[in-house]
Structures are given as structure tokens and as C-alpha cells.
Amino acid sequence: MRFFIDTADLEEIKAANDLGVLDGVTTNPSLVAKIVQDPENFTYEDFKAHIAKICDIVDGPVSAEVTTLLAEEMIVQGEDLAAIHDNVVVKCPLTLEGLKAMHHLSANGIRINATLVFSPTQAILAAKAGASYVSPFVGRLDDISTEGMALVEQIVDIYDNYRFPTEVLVASIRHPQHVVDAALIGADVATIPFKVIGQLLKHPLTDTGLERFMKDAAVIKKG
């Protein structure tokens, strides 16, 4: 299972990369908006420069999302974003216009992450349009009392049935149990917020065990 970090924050990306567990990055316009210090003066060129900085830190797929609703404009922007770095994956929403753009871009060798996916039918369409990744948003489904992981299970089964090469990238992860469930189901990738990556390693027995070992280590004299 590959781990992507779900953030546009360069410090978080560097810190997670230093742990040696990071395989890629996902961003979206809301995550980018969070790190912009001067929103009045942040341009599209600044956005592209920020994606380039992420690509310099992590040697793996970096999702950059289109910021327009029309297929023709998504295609132009997708080509532009893909030109930033070989590792850029263009994120398109699973709408009618998004689907057209995905089909066109993927046919031209640009990797696509189909985003805002909330149903198995949307996931089938993403695969048929040639998306490299499909992103079911589990947390947002849980938020409306629908089991997000049930969708991941359905997509993994459907893709297995037809050997679709599209990878299942579990998104909108909110806590460690989402990561465990995604791994048990056999999802290809989990994109995880920085805070949750930290939570993955925490266990109270590790903390109390280490405290005891450090106390007892006092008997071991340094030479």
C-alpha cells in the first residue's frame, strides 16, 4: 500500500518525506488556499511554482487539481499542469465535463486522478475514461451517515472483476482506522493528512514501555 500525504504545506511534506514512508502527494484548491499567505496576490503562476516545489521534495506522483468547470479549459490547464514536472498527476472532478477532459488528457499520456468520487458508477466511468487513480472520499461520505469504506470495497471488487488498471486512492481520510480499513480492503493508495500520519505510529504501550526501558537503561554504563 502506498502512502500519499494530503496537504500543500511544504513543511508537512518535508517532515513526512523524512520519515521514509511517503510515496506521493495530493493537493486540492482548499488545501492550497490554506497555505497561501497573501491571497490577494497569489497567482496561477504562484500555484504552479508551488506544485514544482512539492515535486522537488517528493519523488512520486503529485496531484494538482484543475480550477475550472469546462472540459476545454480543463484540458488546457491539465496540459499546462502536467508540463510542470513528470510526476504531476492532473486531478479532474467526476462531472460530465471532467470526464471529457479525463478522456482527452489520458489519451494524450497525461496521468489523471479522478476526484470527488462518491459512487461506484462514478468510479466505473473514471476507469473507462482512462484515469490512473480514482479518489473515493470516505470521510465526506461518513459525514453524511453513509459508510465511506463500503464504497472503497465496491470499487476494489469492480476493478478486480474487469482488471481495470485504475488505482484506488482512498481520500478524505480522517483517522487511523480509515487507513487500516483501506489496507484490509486492498486499496492501492491512501492519501493521509499529516496529523493522521503522526497518529499511525502512536501507541500508549510503546510510550510506557519506552519510559521503563529508559529508566532501566541506567544500569548500562557507557564505556
What residues act catalytically? 91
Containing H/E element for 13? helix 10-18
Give the length of the chain: 223
Q: Look up cell 484540458; give the residue.
A: 75
**Mapping DSSP to helix (H, G, I), strand (E, B) and coil, where does residue 185 land?**
helix
Q: What is the spatial distance between Cα 214 and Cα 206, in angstroms, rounded to a whole number? A: 12
Of residues 28 and 106, the one with the C-beta less far from ligand E4P: 28
Nearest residue (beta carbon) to ligand E4P: 172
Of residues 26 and 122, the one with the C-beta less far from ligand E4P: 26
Of residues 195 and 212, the one with the C-beta less far from ligand E4P: 195
Containing H/E element for 8? none
Joined grid coordinates for residue 141 = 461520505
Minimal distance, residue 212 CB to ligand E4P, in Å: 38
Containing H/E element for 53? helix 44-57
Minimal distance, residue 30 CB to ligand E4P, in Å: 6
The residues that touch ligand E4P, with contacts defined as CB under 6 A, are 6, 26, 28, 115, 135, 137, 139-140, 171-172, 191
Minimal distance, residue 171 CB to ligand E4P, in Å: 4
Q: Look up cell 514512508; give the residue.
A: 21
Nearest-CA neighbor of 27 among 91, 105, 99, 120? 91
Neighbours of 111 (CB within 10 A): 19
Of residues 110 and 171, the one with the C-beta less far from ligand E4P: 171
Rg (C-alpha) for the chain, rounded Å, is 19
Of residues 115 and 132, the one with the C-beta less far from ligand E4P: 115
Minimal distance, residue 22 CB to ligand E4P, in Å: 15
Q: Look up cell 482488471; give the residue.
A: 163
Minimal distance, residue 176 CB to ligand E4P, in Å: 15
Joined grid coordinates for residue 145 = 451517515
Task: Report DSSP letters for 142-155, one per residue.
Answer: HHTTS-HHHHHHHH
